[in-house]
A and B are shown apart, each in its own frame.
Chain A
């Protein structure tokens, strides 16, 4: 009680997310044609470790200490590449599903980090409906894991709470896994 979001907030997020997905579709072709910077080397679809490092960064994946250069987000190799439209627009549905699976598997055994939230949101925004059975199972696993992590939070001020609530909301309400929804 007090940790889960109101119905009104959930409905707003579903509406906004639906708009975002439409815009992604509308602009996908434009962004697909953009040339990526030389340092952006996307892993092959079956390179699980490569994708985890690409999205979350070496600091998180290799458990190395984070160095604060004072310029956040500059070192993408260490901090992970953000889900820029020019990157996610180049992912086909098979890759979207595969990366989603890699990141959800990673989250099963580790703590939530901000990069993870951004990537999961971006991948869900690119995941086409109707979902394949594997995708159903995958996103349900994500919502359950978010619920478990949320249940262990000690404070409502925890930075992770809003991100966890958002992901649960989108899986349950946008992708219609209603039994997992916060009432």
Chain B
């Protein structure tokens, strides 16, 4: 309905760790 639940699913307890890993991986690809 509101999109809130989708957002919560993505933003889980490991969100900061995933964001860091993604940022680090992006340099290797660049």
A residues sitting closer than 8 Å to B (CB atoms) are 5-6, 9, 12-13, 16-17, 20, 23-24, 27, 30-31, 34, 82-86, 88, 117-118, 121-122, 125, 161-163, 165-166
Contacts and interface: CB of A to CB of B under 8 A. Distances in A.
B25 to A, nearest CB: 7
Interface string B1-30: 000000010011111110110111111101
A31 B19 CA distance: 17
17 contacts: A6-B30, A9-B27, A12-B26, A16-B19, A20-B19, A27-B8, A34-B13, A82-B17, A83-B17, A85-B13, A85-B16, A88-B16, A117-B24, A121-B23, A122-B17, A162-B26, A163-B24
A5 B23 CA distance: 12
Contact of A166 (B11, B12, B17, B27): B27
Contacts of A166: 20, 23-24, 27
Given A24-B16, A85-B14, A86-B13, 13 more contacts: A5-B27, A16-B19, A16-B22, A16-B23, A27-B8, A27-B11, A82-B14, A85-B15, A117-B20, A121-B19, A121-B20, A166-B20, A166-B27
A166 B19 CA distance: 12
Interface of B: 8, 11-17, 19-20, 22-28, 30
- Secondary structure of the B side of the interface? helix
A119 to B, nearest CB: 9
Contacts, number: 67
Nearest to B21: A118
A27 B12 CA distance: 10
- Secondary structure of the A side of the interface? helix
A6 B29 CA distance: 12
Contacts of A162: 24-28
